[in-house]
Structure 1
Amino acid sequence: MSEEYIVDVDNLTIRFNMASEKVDNLKEYVIKLIKHELMFQEFLALKDVNLKVKRGEAWGLIGTNGSGKSTLLKACCGILKPYKGSVTTKGTIAPLIELGAGFDMNMTARENVFLNGTVLGHSRKFMEEHFDEIIEFAELQDFLDVPIKNFSSGMQARLGFAIATMVRPDILVVDEILSVGDYQFQQKCYERMGQMLSGGTTLLYVSHDINSVRQLCDHAIWIDKGNVRMSGLVEEVTTEYMHMNQ
């Protein structure tokens, strides 16, 4: 990996296997699997994708639903392994990829702060020191002892974002999670991400809101059906993308 890149995606291909025949129940599935009669169809979610990100850059990942944006983020976070090619990252990563990831839905908000902190590698003492800051940012003071399963999607997003951005990671990964929050909280999150970027954090950001991509990012990569259509400066890429999708 080049010293100048904090994220280096090199000819990345991600493959999924999809069942190519209908199986009506689990018993039938297991029998076919044991007998090697289960047929799979290969699906390439990403095909020879390259992405070179320098420290402190903010990249927006754009494209229609099912294009492979979230798959690329998951590969960058180490959740998905390459079928071909490689992904190399440097430093700490704070992923905000799926709503409720890292949470136990049956535990309270208070308990989940410490659980999520552990997942991110923080000690209990560290989380205790930052607990009030997290809850204040998430605006959940009145819901500390309510199970997460009773939270709205917006409340879950607020708590997840507050925990992930409590300290400045080297790489912040955000996938559409802010779209479930209200406008006022979204602006609060954009402001915090802007501060993190000013402090040197690198951002990988997926959103269908092109205005927010332009607001936060200096570069963009357009992915279409697993292929990179265009990458470069955010204004150029988003302008072409919008022109082609009018």
Structure 2
Amino acid sequence: MSAETTEPAAPHEGEAHESGIGARLNWLRAGVLGANDGIVSTAGLVVGVAGATTDRNAILVAGVAGLFAGALSMAAGEYVSVSTQRDSERALLEKERKELRDMPEDELAELAEIYVEKGLSVDLARQVAQELTDHDALGAHADAELGIDPDNLTNPWHAAWASMIAFTVGALLPLLTITLVAQSARVWVTVVSVALALALTGWSSARLGQSPPRRAVLRNVGGGLLAMAVTYLIGVLFGARI
């Protein structure tokens, strides 16, 4: 009888099993959403001003001011949000360290119970909990109980810079389009270019989330077109009165 060799299981094609892949996907989604916000908010602003005046300098000043205000606001908001999240994660990890130090047996039983609830037998759950605790007690308990990776905490500065850069890149499209295109066509060319850009960001966000892209694209483009239509009408109404 020939001995059979057992090959280690390989990841299925198209499935990512790398450490930290979830964090990287979240950064990509945040970048896409930041660019999307830059496109929509800046497009709405410059189209609204274009509805009120044909002065290219006025449109440019408003667009640049909106770009910087939006980018800095995004960076500050992301920094505060992620800093708060990181502080909470650190507090939870410190509490977990204290519990592991003061009542290790209770923590081991708690970890084993988590694996029992996931479907393991009591004996196997106890064995798995013990081996994981022996290997990396804090990492095992933080992952199972809190959903936190102690070695991969979110960085508020990375989040702030990523949001600011993504917003700026998105905002440059409508700003440059409406200021460089001739007056007779600037609004329509901006609307078309923004719609195409929003279709791309909608498709990208759907692909990152592994969801059907059509609905995301339609929702994204529809929301952007509505925002530009409303701000343009407001600009026309206020421009007529000034």
Higher strand fraction: Structure 1 or Structure 2? 1
From the CA coordinates, give the structure whose radius of gyration is larger. 2
Q: Which has the higher helix share?
A: 2
TM-score by length of 2: 0.24
Higher relative contact order (CA 8 A, sep 6+): 2
The TM-score with structure 1 as length reference comes to 0.24
